[in-house]
Chain A
């Protein structure tokens, strides 16, 4: 439903309510209603549930529009009746009217009508539920794992999409357009819930369970969402984005994600950064292909350091636009706006450009390395980790020098 339509609907509703309400309350009521209406008209609302951008969200929208209308009308009738009765029969000292009891015809009618309305709503609701639960037409699978407070995505081997070795990423879910994608969700710690309103409803990610959620986007685009099951301190900072790319662009993305690790140039700042990374970061963060000084592969051990047992894989960090649970931008404001405001046909190209040195949001990334828990609340204070046996929830403060931070940023910029 577009904004103007919603606007006029509400206006007429406001008008009808105003007719009933007494004169002296009119202004007050008018102000209240007008601000409600205004609140519904936000321009920049990427998580608007009334704007489906794919078939699954459309199924929900086709259900919620008529149900909303029916519920709205009934709600209005009830509210008006109550307000009317309150004012009409207010205790003004009049004698209590004659009391009667029971009116079978009326009672039966008033039971049957709501039952019928609910039955009709139920039929369509069940229809929608079953349509949304279908999995036998799935074309592509992505594993989604929730943990405090970010989402991990891994793509099992699927040769039809050029995925012949597993891909792993975080924060931004990249998927091909017009493809029936099935998310297999679970969690590493507490219950989370995955929700991209423009593409489908919510599905809880529950430890010990695998639950599925269909996603399909009609056109290339960026769709925002956030965790919708309270999951602790930084629940509000556990966001995610789905990026739908044309099939050709998606193939490019897949190829890039599988590209072999390129070590930074000799004697560059980035190479010094790699050394700092091996010292400070590899105990939590995996960078596939990264070798230790002795030539053995550097295998991260987040299970020994982080309560959930995982930290984001940084192999292709700069191919994403956000970090830390999609809460902060890796792109500067200007470059970010260029991606988000690009027409659908150009989004793929802009997104695949990744993060260049010029476009990097230096302030937030440096801030993160300087003191991550100061930017995003996390249980990362070593003195308060008795309950988790010393393991962090989130990324701790690492007391890095500004020098080391510059080296690390130079290194991270090579992880494209």
Chain B
């Protein structure tokens, strides 16, 4: 009388009720688990109701018998177990392994499900396998192609990081031309044997892959190695040129950041355009302990940099020798912009306000107010 679906859902409902009661005893308050279990109970009870009313959605015409000789060999149990192992290892080793386990598992389950569904969809095994293909090939091919391309592109990027800049450019042009020539060849000779086309492509891909492995093992080119080891110290903030670039801004800004205020230098005058204010201001409020993104926009003919003077650094030496706390942008050419990220933890002491100024340009400053 009770359909299979009903039994399943009512079983889950009863189990969750038991779990809920137990969790109420174990945890003395209704935490997230309680909410989740209540929602599960509600939804499975509803599904059980639907299953009993619709008799599992069974009509008399469907449900062909599953016959043993229509099932073919399947690789998915194997892949599933690999996924489970990755999952378990990932819990110990790293979240990367864990998530690749999740992905492998999901993919295997989907493939397995569709395969077993297709094998019982008719008595004709040819039709069954075409049904499977029709459903899954549109997903499998792009995913496999993307994976393959990913490997090739990643390998090529390793090559580009290893060779020096001009060789890199030549290599890029060379490889591009080879791809173009191969493409032209394929177009001009549409009757070329399939195996030849496959061989050419495979040869190219494997070649790049091997080159990638070799390059990765030889390491980065010299200037990249130096750039990586360079100190993150801030450069001096005078009017002179420095070959370091502004790493503070680089570390704090992201694609999601937005500008709080733009400091403009026009005709020897500094002014602040602050988001929300309709008129230029001569002071900017910087909220305490909040990284605030400013842009220095130099419209003057000379090169300048913007410097934030944030009072004195707490001295670590007993004699109390104080050092100025300065943060600055790189020298900025006419029309160019530079970001300056300020995070100020304490308000200025009375009488010595925090100021934005431009070395080499006297009498111009913008107050930084920290409430």
Q: Do A and B originate from a single complex?
A: yes
Q: Which of A211-227 contact B (CB under 8 A)?
A: 211-212
A91-B59, A186-B287 are contacts. A208–B345 as well, Cβ < 8 Å? no
Q: Which of A124-153 contact B (CB under 8 A)?
A: 135-136, 138, 141, 143, 145, 152
A168 at the binding interface (Cβ < 8 Å): yes
Candidate in B258, B259, B285, B371 with the most chain A CB atoms within 10 angstroms: B371
* Contact, CB under 8 Å: A208 / B254: yes
In the complex, A152 Cα to B370 Cα: how many Å?
13
* Contact, CB under 8 Å: B369 / A210: no
Q: Name B275's contact: one of A168, A210, A308 (CB within 8 Å).
A: A210
For residue B277, give the distance in angstroms from its CB to the closest CB of chain A. Answer: 6
In the complex, A343 Cα to B345 Cα: how many Å?
42
Q: Which of B354-371 contact A (CB under 8 A)?
A: 369, 371
Main secondary structure of the interface of B (DSSP, over half): loop
Q: Which of A58-104 contact B (CB under 8 A)?
A: 91, 96
B73 at the binding interface (Cβ < 8 Å): no
Residues of B within 8 A of A (CB): 54-55, 59, 61, 252-254, 256-260, 275-278, 283, 285, 287-291, 293, 345-347, 349-350, 369, 371
Q: Name A184's contact: one of B253, B275, B369 (CB within 8 Å).
A: B275
In the complex, A135 Cα to B277 Cα: how many Å?
8
Main secondary structure of the interface of A (DSSP, over half): loop
* Contact, CB under 8 Å: B275 / A96: no
Q: Which residues of B contact A135 (CB under 8 A)?
A: 276, 278
Q: Which residues of A contact B259 (CB under 8 A)?
A: 210
For residue A284, give the distance in angstroms from its CB to the closest CB of chain B. Answer: 12
A-B contact pairs, 12 of them (CB 8 A): A91-B54, A91-B59, A135-B278, A154-B285, A154-B287, A184-B276, A188-B289, A208-B252, A208-B253, A208-B257, A301-B345, A303-B345
A96-B61, A186-B287 are contacts. A301–B346 as well, Cβ < 8 Å? yes
- List 13 extra interface pairs beyond A91-B59, A301-B345, CB under 8 A: A96-B61, A143-B285, A145-B287, A156-B283, A168-B371, A184-B275, A206-B256, A208-B252, A208-B258, A297-B349, A299-B347, A310-B290, A313-B371
Q: Which residues of A contact B61 (CB under 8 A)?
A: 96
* Contact, CB under 8 Å: B290 / A145: yes
In the complex, A23 Cα to B236 Cα: how many Å?
85
For residue A91, give the distance in angstroms from its CB to the closest CB of chain B. Answer: 7
- Closest B residue, CB atoms, query A145: B287
* Contact, CB under 8 Å: A309 / B275: no
For residue B249, give the distance in angstroms from its CB to the closest CB of chain A. Answer: 12
In the complex, A166 Cα to B140 Cα: how many Å?
61
Q: Which residues of A contact B290 (CB under 8 A)?
A: 145, 186, 188, 309-310
A209 at the binding interface (Cβ < 8 Å): yes
Q: Name B289's contact: one of A156, A212, A303, A313 (CB within 8 Å).
A: A303
* Contact, CB under 8 Å: B287 / A156: no
A157 at the binding interface (Cβ < 8 Å): yes
Contact with B along A312-345 (1 / 0, CB 8 A): 0100000000000000000000000000000000
For residue A98, give the distance in angstroms from its CB to the closest CB of chain B. Answer: 14
Q: Which residues of A contact B350 (CB under 8 A)?
A: 297
- Closest A residue, CB atoms, query B347: A299
Q: Which of A165-219 contact B (CB under 8 A)?
A: 166-168, 182, 184, 186, 188, 206-212
Q: Name A303's contact: one of B55, B254, B288 (CB within 8 Å).
A: B288
Q: Which residues of B contact A52 (CB under 8 A)?
A: none
In the complex, A143 Cα to B277 Cα: how many Å?
11
* Contact, CB under 8 Å: A208 / B59: no
Total chain A interface residues with beta-carbon distance under 8 A = 35
- Closest B residue, CB atoms, query A155: B371
Q: Which residues of A contact B254 (CB under 8 A)?
A: 208
* Contact, CB under 8 Å: B276 / A141: yes
- Closest B residue, CB atoms, query A206: B256
* Contact, CB under 8 Å: A136 / B275: no
Q: Which residues of B contact A394 (CB under 8 A)?
A: none
Q: Which residues of B contact A152 (CB under 8 A)?
A: 287
A273 at the binding interface (Cβ < 8 Å): no
Q: Which residues of B contact A313 (CB under 8 A)?
A: 371
A302 at the binding interface (Cβ < 8 Å): yes
Q: Which residues of B contact A208 (CB under 8 A)?
A: 252-254, 256-258, 291, 293
In the complex, A233 Cα to B88 Cα: how many Å?
30
In the complex, A136 Cα to B54 Cα: how many Å?
60
Q: Which of A256-303 contact B (CB under 8 A)?
A: 297, 299, 301-303
Q: Which residues of B contact A145 (CB under 8 A)?
A: 287, 290
Q: Which residues of B contact A168 (CB under 8 A)?
A: 371
Candidate in B61, B289, B293, B350 with the most chain A CB atoms within 10 angstroms: B289
- Closest B residue, CB atoms, query A169: B371
Q: Which residues of B contact A138 (CB under 8 A)?
A: 276-278
Q: Name B369's contact: one of A156, A297, A299, A310 (CB within 8 Å).
A: A156
Q: Which residues of A contact B349 (CB under 8 A)?
A: 297
- Closest A residue, CB atoms, query B289: A309
A145-B290, A297-B349 are contacts. A157–B283 as well, Cβ < 8 Å? yes
In the complex, A327 Cα to B283 Cα: how many Å?
34
For residue B342, give the distance in angstroms from its CB to the closest CB of chain A. Answer: 13
Instruction: In the A-B complex, list the 3 residue pairs whose CB atoms are closest, starting with the nearest.
Output: A309-B289, A166-B371, A303-B345
For residue B46, give the distance in angstroms from its CB to the closest CB of chain A. Answer: 14
Q: Which residues of B contact A186 (CB under 8 A)?
A: 260, 287, 290
In the complex, A302 Cα to B346 Cα: how many Å?
9
Q: Which residues of A contact B59 (CB under 8 A)?
A: 91, 96
In the complex, A135 Cα to B273 Cα: how many Å?
14
In the complex, A166 Cα to B284 Cα: how many Å?
11
For residue A100, give the distance in angstroms from its CB to the closest CB of chain B. Answer: 17
In the complex, A138 Cα to B254 Cα: how many Å?
29
- Closest B residue, CB atoms, query A188: B290
A156-B369, A299-B347 are contacts. A310–B289 as well, Cβ < 8 Å? yes
For residue B261, give the distance in angstroms from its CB to the closest CB of chain A. Answer: 9
Q: Name B258's contact: one of A96, A211, A297, A308 (CB within 8 Å).
A: A211
In the complex, A290 Cα to B186 Cα: how many Å?
82
In the complex, A299 Cα to B291 Cα: how many Å?
20
Q: Which residues of B contact A91 (CB under 8 A)?
A: 54-55, 59
A157-B369, A297-B349, A301-B346 are contacts. A212–B288 as well, Cβ < 8 Å? no
Candidate in B283, B289, B290, B369 with the most chain A CB atoms within 10 angstroms: B290
Q: Name A156's contact: one of B55, B285, B293 (CB within 8 Å).
A: B285
In the complex, A154 Cα to B371 Cα: how many Å?
7
Q: Which residues of B contact A301 (CB under 8 A)?
A: 345-346
Candidate in B259, B287, B347 with the most chain A CB atoms within 10 angstroms: B287
In the complex, A207 Cα to B347 Cα: how many Å?
20
For residue A210, give the distance in angstroms from its CB to the closest CB of chain B. Answer: 5
Q: Which residues of A contact B289 (CB under 8 A)?
A: 188, 302-303, 308-310
For residue B31, give the distance in angstroms from its CB to the closest CB of chain A. Answer: 11
Q: Which residues of B contact A96 (CB under 8 A)?
A: 59, 61
In the complex, A91 Cα to B53 Cα: how many Å?
10
For residue B242, give the distance in angstroms from its CB to the closest CB of chain A. Answer: 26
